[in-house]
Amino acid sequence: MALGHWYYLLLPLVVLAVMSLLRFRGCSFDPVQAYSDLIRGDHPAAWFPLEESSGPTAANAAGPPDGTYGTAPSPLSAGNPPWHSPPVASTSLTFGINNPNLVPANPNDPADFSIGVQGAFVQVPADAASLQNLTEFTLEGLVYPDWDTTVLGNYYCVLELGARVPPATLKNQGFGLYAGPSDTTNPNSSYSWQVWMGNGTSFQRLEEVKPYTPNGSNPGPNVEKDQVTYLAFTYSQSQGQAFLYLYTSDRDLDQVAYELIFAPYTPVASAANTQGLHIGLTAEGPLFQPAPPAVVPFLYPFIGQMCNIAIYNRVLTQDTLRHHATVAFFVTPA
């Protein structure tokens, strides 16, 4: 066969290889695109890079109000055992962690860092107008869980904007992004990423639409210790849809989205009954009965690292979130 004919036969294979490479890189033609530029371009309502070298201010890169760093009293009690909150013997907040696997490479910003939390948090004022009455929204962040995942039964809060409106004794408005037992009725089940929401009466978990294969090619939204994890959640009241997005480097990019069983939701409507947004733990009381006392301790501390926590006042498309995930993991420095 003439050599020219081989070109025609090989061309489709070359094109397929290039397309596969581009898909792996998130379909971005800019190999040094900064993750921070990507977030900024999608106009979040609130965005906390968490790259400060000291406190007390956690800058809101989307505009005011800023957040404030804090650390819970040490030791941090688990409170009532039915609450399933992990105790922390020594609370701590670590600034300026240079974890190249967690903070996406940005050749234009070598000061990109993350924070380490163990009973520490960022609190955003309850009267932040950008966080009120959210009915169409996206939550997003990069986290690195570092608790002992062989000790089962606890819950760990990435972020929560919740409220308790009397006569309810537990929080009944807002949303929370957590890690906790994959089976709410079985504390000894393995850890998974999950979403809790208030419906005006109680605060309940949105269960995943199944099936998926927990030990197969699609392992579900399980937590992997010491693994950089991209998390996102979208909720649309008008469309009646809720999705949890999860990506780690050992996952297939085609298995990023998990549909959740849609449930009614009551947003936080005012500052009167809430402590505001908390990143790293909750200050709004337990997820479970019995009812809390008048003053509720900090609960569900996240243990690990985190950065680039963002909230959008609209639903970002799956293609957009996949692009965020791929840039976060596969961007290369200059």
**For 262-276, what is the mean pLDDT?**
94
Expressed in percent and rounded to 5, the helix, strand and coil fractions of the chain are: 15, 35, 55
Task: Kindly report, residue by residue over 178-233, the tens digit of the pLDDT.
Answer: 999 999 999 999 999 999 999 999 999 999 998 776 666 677 899 999 999 999 99
Assess contact for 176 and 160: CB atoms under 8 A.
Answer: yes
Give the phi and the psi of residue 310 in degrees, each rounded to 5. -130, 145
CATH top-level class of 31-330: mainly beta
Residues counted in the chain: 334
Q: What is the DSSP string of 223-278?
A: --TT--EEEEEEEETTTTEEEEEEE-TTS-TTS-EEEB----------STT---EE
Tokens of 304: 């690990």
Positive or negative, the CA dihedral 15, 17, 21, 23 is: positive
Residues 6 or more apart whose Cβ sits within 8 Å of residue 260: 195, 206, 207, 208, 209, 242, 243, 244
Higher pLDDT, 223 or 19: 223
Q: Which of 223, 221, 227, 228 is nearest to 245 (CA)?
A: 221
Higher pLDDT, 301 or 110: 301
Q: How far apart are CA 120 and CA 294, in angstroms?
A: 22
Is the pLDDT assigned to residue 106 strictly greater than 60? no
Q: Tell me if 250 sits within 8 A of 100, measured CB to CB.
A: no
Q: What pLDDT does 73 receive?
A: 95
Q: Does 285 score more than 80 pLDDT? A: yes
Q: What is the mean pLDDT of residues 49-70?
A: 96
Cα 268–Cα 269–Cα 273 angle in degrees, nearest 5: 70
What are the residue boundaries of the structural domains of the chain, listed by start? 1-29, 31-330
Q: Which two tokens stand for residue 235?
A: 């909720």
Strands of the sheet containing 120-124, edge to edge, are 57-58, 67-71, 120-124, 277-279, 156-163, 173-183, 186-198, 203-206
Buried b (16+ CB within 10 A) or exposed e, 45-67: bbbbbbbbeebeebebbbeebbb
Confidence category of residue 103, pLDDT binned at 50, 70, 90: confident
HSE, side-chain direction, 13 A CA sphere, residue 84: 20
* pTM metric for this prediction: 0.88
Q: Which amino acid, residue 291?
A: A
Burial group, residue 320, by CB count within 10 angstroms (0-12, 13-18, 19+): middle
Inform me whether the pLDDT recorded for 118 exceeds 50. Answer: yes
Look at residue 320 and tell me whether its pLDDT is greater than 80: yes
Q: How far apart are CA 202 and CA 17, in angstroms?
A: 51
Q: Which of 37-41, 178-182, 247-251 has the highest mean pLDDT?
A: 178-182
DSSP state of 210: S
Q: Residue 180 forms beta bridges with which residues?
A: 192
Question: Looking at the predicted structure, is the pLDDT value of residue 37 above 80?
Answer: yes
